[in-house]
Amino acid sequence: MKKGFPTILILFGITGDLAHTKVIPSLYKLYSKNLLPELFTVIGFGRRDLTDDGVKNLITKSLNSKEDTASVMKFASIFKYHKGDFANLDDYISLAAKLGFTDKQWNTCANKLFYLAVPPAYYNELTNHLHDSRLTEPCGPDEGWTRVLIEKPFGTDKHSARKLDASLGRMFKEEQIYRIDHYLAKEMMQNILAFRFSNNLLEDSWNNKTVEQIKIRFIESEGVETRGSFYDGIGALRDVGQNHLLQMLALTTMEQPQSFSGNDVRARREEILQQLVPPCGDQISSHTFRAQYSSFKDIEGVEGTSKTETYFKLIAQLNSPRWEGVPITLEGGKGLKTARKEIKLIFKPVNSKITTLTDGLDYKNRVIINLESGEEGINIRFWAKKPGLAFEFEEATFEFDFTNSKSISLKADEYEKLLLDAIEGSQELFITTKEAQYSWDFIDPIIEAWQKDAIKLYNYDKNSNDILDKPEF
Contact indicator for 413, 161 with CB cutoff of 8 Å: no
Pairwise CA distance, residues 39 & 381, whole Å: 51
Per-residue CA distances from 212 to 205, 252, 282, 378, 472 (Å): 11, 14, 23, 19, 15
Question: Which residue among 20, 82, 182, 244 is the active-site one?
Answer: 244
Gyration radius (Cα) of the chain, Å: 24
**Residue 396 and residue 384 in contact, taking contact as beta carbons nearer than 8 Å:** yes
Backbone phi, then psi, for 68, in 5-degree steps?
Answer: -65, 130
3-state secondary structure at position 151 = strand
Which of 450, 439, 452, 154 shows the shortest CA–CA distance to 292?
450
Is 160 in contact with 167 (CB distance < 8 Å)?
A: no
Asked if 383 and 415 touch (Cβ cutoff 8 Å), the reply is: no
Is 287 considered catalytic here?
A: no
Q: Are the beta carbons of 436 and 271 closer than 8 angstroms?
A: no
SS3 76: helix
Ordered DSSP codes for 274-341: HTB----THHHHHHEEEEEETTGGGSTT--TT----SEEEEEE-B-STTTTT--EEEEEESSBSS-EE
Report, as residue numbers or ranges, the catalytic residues. Answer: 244
